[in-house]
Structure 1
């Protein structure tokens, strides 16, 4: 085969493969198409070449995206075989997990098809969902939940938007149950906030005292650090004193044991003679009164014979007759 023919075959095969790759990547629509236009408030992520779908099936392509009068106008084409209901909605949705967008047409309430070249007004269009704004809206809720609950809720949100499980109503039900759980603790949260306000108010009123306390603690720490050698020496001295006291107690051990035993003997004797001791204590006031009368005339004891009787061989003689002193009376 001649080199020229070989080159020609190579060029034809290369062109065929290139067209095949381009068609595979772009997936162009075949057959006649009908142009339409839709007006949106936001078309972030949508660009020329994005898909136009009906019930998830690709039926067209976005041809142009432009901003006019503060709104976004999207021109798109739909295959002629696919009617576009005049009452339907044009919604921008996520086409895949990479963030690409697609223009979805909903059937609406039926009715006659939209005329070719007609414009879908902004009242019947819906902009793309901003996941960042959505998740930021859940941030106050996430702040009050445990990490495991946040992960579960975020997983459910992602699953809903990926179409892998759950519905929006189920997701909202989960959110409502979580908010109900938080609402049931409203009184406790309110009490905690009130208590915190009270504590902060007290701290605010005593801020000067608190500042003085902190300053005093700082000075104490500084002086303690400066005197750490003296403190260490005092601790060592305390250890020596404790050792000396232990040695002293060891030396007093035998004598102290004998003294304790002697005290036990004395207390046992007192317990055995408790009745006699009680009688002596009861008679003590009378004895003290008599002793007081006997010693009331000086610092000595006076003895008076107020009555004297003598008996000799059966004969009784009483010598106590006559006047008596005041002591005898």
Structure 2
């Protein structure tokens, strides 16, 4: 009997020890998971953000989606900025040109710190390096996104919502409201929502697309936002030049309008004269045809006359006229009426 008791006692002690060891190990693992901690040598850095809302101590620090460290502190720094202290595994070298960005871990609002390494190698950053505001990017504001639910709420009847809320409160306070009344108001509200099934379906579909895009950020979206920011900044810097250009364009428009106003009457007269000219040409069609038919021959002969130089070479073949004789002159004039070269 004593041996059986000893064996039972020993078995009980062994089971208890095994249970305690397993419990301690499980508790340790659970505590490590909750703390979101990781092992290994780490290097501490700091980063300044304009907004670090929902970023908490213990959140992940990731590089290309892989966890490499942990956020160890978030506090207010100079100029109303948020200073985030975090650690990174020493196996990861942060070099000049590295940037830090806050991203959403999920749609609930949890965030993590993403480290974007430069494409080119550079000098390794010293431990304790602080990323300035120009090297950091805050997370997107999901409040604007979730405000998209407002169109859905507009389709609900406020009286039904208020009645349902009053019935629920009355039931829990024991003020005599019946379950039937509660179910009736619930059915009324559900019917109102069911009537807007198509609107709700489209809203959920659009929201699913937006959330998918947000949960899978791409380099194209980052590049687009950066390029748009650079464009807006450039336009802001050139606002004086753009303003002057617009003023000049206004003056040009006024000048063109004045020119058209001044040239309208002469243009009208020119168009009318052009009509008369067209009529005259139409009436002289035979003359014009004859002129165009003989024009090549005339041009050929003129070309021969002008082929000796920059003058026209003409020979007088005959002269016909009457020249009065001076008194007392008995000789000849010395000019033959017809030249020999023309015979």
TM-score, scaled relative to structure 1: 0.44
TM-score, scaled relative to structure 2: 0.42
Structure number with larger C-alpha Rg: 1
